[in-house]
Structure 1
Amino acid sequence: MGRLYWKFFIFFFLAQLTSVIGVGIAVSIVHEREELQREHEVQMQSQNKAMAPPVLYKPFKPKHKRWFPLMPILVGALASFIFAAILAWYFSKPIKQLRQAFASAANGNLDVRIGESMGKRRDELIDLGNAFDVMAVRLGALLQSQTRLLHQVSHELRSPLARLQIAVGLARQQPDKLESSLMRIERESVRMDDLVGELLALSRLESGVIRLEKERVNLNELLITVLEDACFEGEARKITIDYVPQVETPDNSLSLLGQQDLLHRAIDNVVRNALKYSASQSHVSIKTSVDNAFIKIEVNDQGAGVAEDELDIIFQAFFRGSNTHQTDGHGVGLAIAKQIVEAHGGTIAASNITTGGLSVAIKLPVS
């Protein structure tokens, strides 16, 4: 039973108790008046008997009056009315505020807040008001995110669509360059397909549709798989990649609870981001260590790094650093990695390396 129940209980109990006390007092007063009147009549009868001549004497017989309990009913009704009015006001005011807030939210006004306006109550109604405020903040953030995402998607799709139109036009005007135009069309269609796939994955992660199916994951094997793919991708630009485990176990193995395919995607996105912004003939390193109850995965590159004021926002969708515009990309990979890591109860952060390059550190709980 919650606090609201006990408030109702106490109010009704006080109302009934006050009514009983009022009725009792009224009955007591009326009874006392009748007793006094009866004693007075007996005394008067005795005096008349002593003074009168000896005649036939009729003993006093009290007259039974019909007494309607108007006073107790009025007292009880008044007490019940007062407490009922207080109770109705106490609970109808916040309920009215909640109704108005929900109506405003339904009309699209998500800036309304009612937690503070409900005072210092300590019951389920104030909890409901605070929950409404949290809901309004969350919905507002989601709507802003969707609006921003729509604008950014429109911007990202505009360029490949324009190049597709140009390629189609060239294919019609210059049939001898049909093969190169078809190759351009293929590249742009693949780029758009990749973008749509990343957006769908990001949307599912942000909306919470994906439910984690945790299992024991061998992180060492997972990182080796990521490393093999990264080495193949970096070979064309002569970028070397190595994995340096820093754990005190016989086989340098690490394990944690998580969904393996999602963890693979998160780490792969971070490593591919390091490859993308690294110079040719440079080096990328992957290091692991144990920090209390967390496993730390650190990916270091030798690229241009990121401006200090952009380190906290590079994990936002479609954000691209001021010094990365010459590199092809959509700015979604790190945002997906952040969502996956946080879904596993971990953290991800970036920092610049003093000798040059960017370091991205992922911390995941062991269990």
Structure 2
Amino acid sequence: MGLVAAGGVGYPSKMHYQRIFAFTATLLALFSTSACSSGSNGDGRSGGGGGGGITDGGIDFVDGAMPPCDGVCVVEDGGVIIPTGDGGTTQCFFIECQGRVTACGDCSDNDGDGLIDNDDPECLGPCDNYEGEELLSGVGGETGEQCKADCYFDFGNGGGNDDCHWSRSCDPLEPKVQCTYDDRLLGGRDCPDTQSQLCEDVCTPLTPNGCDCFGCCTFPELEGMGPGGGDGYVYIGSESGCTFDTVTDPSFCQACTPASSCLNTCGRCEICLGKPTIPQDCFPGAGGSGGGGGSGGMGGSDGGERCPAGKQVCGLPGDAACPAASFCLTGCCTEIIVQ
């Protein structure tokens, strides 16, 4: 899967990366692997992340460190503390994925929208190398063959490293124009009825709520637009440039059929792609449980829980920051796995 930048926005510059790697030794001594998390406390119940706008006021170099971030940065308690435009702060830890720092783990606002790393809903994981509007994720997810895919969200390309198997030719909606539907593949290795335990263990925790393991996702705007009046799904890897604003336009976001063998559904009390808010009764003390709870299927949670059992909630005002070595993905602290 190629890395696409729209209008020249999204990728860090060459100088930006030189600044990162020039200080690698210093940063690794200071920081544990984690991600950005908001320290701002607000009254609303909205926003896929908790951060506000980043103040463009230069960089405050402290203790000899030179974090490559946009805005006023200081080093405190082993993390980079970045004041936000709403008077709060965002704490960030640099993330290294297979020896390099990517756009969604570099503590920078690469696309100029005022949000960085996991506070930016367009970052689909800590190893995503594209922070711009297009949802064509800068993570691995293809096998090198035209129509075959493995886990879309795990950063690692090449078949066999996560044991997830899917062919775009399994989908009668043909979301990838080069891949003609072939029903003879159904039930076989490339279109299995179930995925392996390794695929479930590796890929489903990295898959955002509302998506299958192969980049076929639903959005609130697609409710009732699917076959038989069900939820519609689109392939976020559509090469024509699928964004949050174009999910209902098939010229940008091609319709797809989610792989039921590896699907993380979007529950009522879950934050999902394009769904940054949850009903008030999902919060503790308002008639809902509000915390991590019972499992509701592969990689998901039931309709009354924000996160599966054992996962910490995040991303809304008042939520605690995710611990080290985790990333706030659609409202749940997710362990960073590079496979």
Instruction: Return the TM-score normalized by structure 2.
Output: 0.22
Q: Indicate the structure (1 or 2) with the bigger Cα radius of gyration.
A: 1
Return the structure number with greater relative CO, CA threshold 8 A, min gap 6.
2
Q: Comparing both structures, which one devotes a greater share of its residues to helix?
A: 1
